Structure 1
């Protein structure tokens, strides 16, 4: 009988997943998320932007090409272009089976 009462109690009570400060009429939750946005999210986006566009521009030398037999295997040609380049081919990042393209 005690188990049924316990199950009924948990089934009828709504869980409080938003925390104690985000209740109706209280703006504590709004202040918390506003502060988190300004103090964590915006600086985090700025750091990611700096890493993506400023730091990576300085790294012009790509990895050394090693002609492994199991990579870049072409059993048939691609149906576009010359048949050797992938659909989203980038000559600075994606090597061909013979190595990187050098367009100086």
Structure 2
């Protein structure tokens, strides 16, 4: 294993390190990162937005409510509202101890 490391892996890391050091010192390095930003990052962000918005349009149906003893326990009531809903309660997703809100 050490021969493999000395012969293949270590020279590759040192070559990559020297390439990165040279890239930062040359004036064209800024041009490279500008191109990477506009040609790679911007389309990637656009694809992520399309993915997020397409998933947001089709809401998934809620699974059937099963009342387990170890879930949604309220030993102490919340200090706001009726005491059953958490601070970030979402009636479309979060269930109360008795079931989903209608």
How does the TM-score come out when normalised to structure 2? 0.68
- Change in CA separation of 1:22 and 1:49 when aligned onto 2, cut-off 3 Å: same
Larger RCO (CA within 8 A; separation ≥ 6): 2
Number of aligned residue pairs: 86
- Change in CA separation of 1:19 and 1:56 when aligned onto 2, cut-off 3 Å: same
Unaligned runs of 5+ in 1: 1-14
Equivalent position SS for 2:50 = helix
The aligned runs of 1:34-73 (5 Å cut-off) are 34-73=34-73
Return the offset for 1:74. Answer: 0.5
Unaligned runs of 5+ in 2: 1-16
Q: Who is 2:23 aligned against?
A: 21
- Change in CA separation of 1:47 and 1:69 when aligned onto 2, cut-off 3 Å: farther
**Structure 2: distance between partners of 1:67 and 1:35:** 55
Q: CA RMSD in A?
A: 2.3
**Structure 2: distance between partners of 1:17 and 1:68:** 58
